[in-house]
Amino acid sequence: MAAVAERTTRPQKNRRGPHARREARIGLLFVLPCFLLFLAFRFGPGVAGLVLGFTDYTIGDTTHFTGLENFQRMVHDPLFWSSLRVTVVYSVIAVPFTVLASLALALLTRRAFRGSRLFRSVFFLPVVTSLILASTVFIWIFSTKGPWSDLMGLLGLPDQSWLTDSALVLPAIALVGIWSRCGYGMLILLARLQDVPRELEEAALMDGAGPWQRFRHIVAPQLRPAFFFLAVIETTNSFQIFDAIYVMTGGGPANASYSLVYQLYDAGFKYSDLGYASALGCVLFVMTVVVALVQRLVLGKEK
């Protein structure tokens, strides 16, 4: 049997010999320009930002290496700690509810029914809608005379504008983020749900398992890799929240929505302090990697 296997595999090895390697080298030669451009424009700015974080770089001025001065300044900067708190609080609100909303929409549209494709398209539509345009509309929705305030009044809650309240501005922006992102999460979870064997659910149903038991013991374990991917993507996106804050609040009121990326933007483009802005970007990158590793330990580790 070993000799037969050797005879059957050896011709394949010969067919993938010098001629195949030559074709592979030619293919890599054609790919090389795009690969170099990818490295230059994808990793080049990241490396440059890391280097600039240790300088006092300003456009049009001389650059000096300052070592850890920018990071030491960051430790003693109250605005940095305030923007970091805003970023963390926003992420704590937005990420779990985005995943839950995505799961609800995926389970709702999982089965094929009349109009299911239409519902999926409608739920995915906010993902491809400009967040700048959507944020402009949500300014009116959350205004004092807007629909959201009217709804709060009908429920017996204060009908003030959430965008002018320091305690409610982050939940308001998080609602916009959840609305704009849950369609993407729905698509990821829906693709995974299609691979869950229905025979397992039918067998559990015949054994008397209820909906929650079927979801907990059959569906949820199958969705674990998708949950991990979605958690990492949404956490990274929430750490980088900027456009909705820029349009809706400008970081206010009283810096209650002044995120870390917004401080990076102000430092780099408003005050031309690109060295400090690069240091902020390095801290944001490290935060994202650390949180992703924690999520890997909690959600992504396979048994």
pLDDT at residue 1, as a whole number: 43
Sign of CA dihedral 109, 115, 118, 123: negative
State the Cα–Cα distance between residues 172 and 12, nearest whole angstrom: 61
pLDDT at 246: 93
Q: Is residue 190 part of a domain?
A: yes
pLDDT values of the chain reduced to their tens digit, one per residue, 303 residues: 444 444 444 544 445 677 788 888 888 888 888 888 888 888 888 888 888 888 888 877 777 888 889 899 999 999 999 999 999 999 999 999 999 999 999 988 887 777 778 888 889 999 998 999 999 999 999 988 888 888 888 887 777 888 988 889 999 999 999 999 999 999 999 988 888 777 777 777 777 777 788 778 788 888 888 888 898 999 999 999 999 999 999 988 888 999 999 999 999 888 888 899 999 999 999 999 998 888 888 775 554
Q: What end-to-end distance do the CA atoms of the chain give, in Å?
A: 36
Please report whether residue 208 resides in a domain. yes
- What pLDDT is recorded for position 31? 87
Q: Are 137 and 175 in contact (CB under 8 A)?
A: no
Dihedral over Cα of 104, 109, 114, 119: its sign: positive
Structure token digits, residue 231: 């958690």
13 located within any domain: no
Q: Is residue 45 part of a domain?
A: no
- Residue 72 resides in a domain: no
Tokens 């959600």, residue located: 299
Q: With the C-alpha atoms ordered 35, 38, 41, 45, is the resulting torsion angle positive or negative? A: negative
| Spatial contact of 180 and 134, defined as CB atoms under 8 Å apart | yes
Is residue 175 in some structural domain?
yes
Identify whether 54 is part of a domain: no
Contact 162, 148 (CB under 8 A): yes
Q: What is the pLDDT of residue 300?
A: 58
Query: What CATH number does the domain containing 195 carry?
Result: 1.10.3720.10
In a domain, 282, yes or no: yes
pLDDT confidence of residue 296: 82
Parent domain of 150:
82-300
Q: What is the pLDDT of residue 159?
A: 78
Number of domains in the chain: 1
pLDDT at position 302, please? Answer: 53
Question: Could you tell me the CA-to-CA distances from 163 to 55, 166, 175, 242, 247 in Å, in that order?
Answer: 37, 8, 12, 15, 11
**Residues in Cβ contact with 50 at an 8 Å cutoff, skipping those fewer than 6 apart:** 278, 282
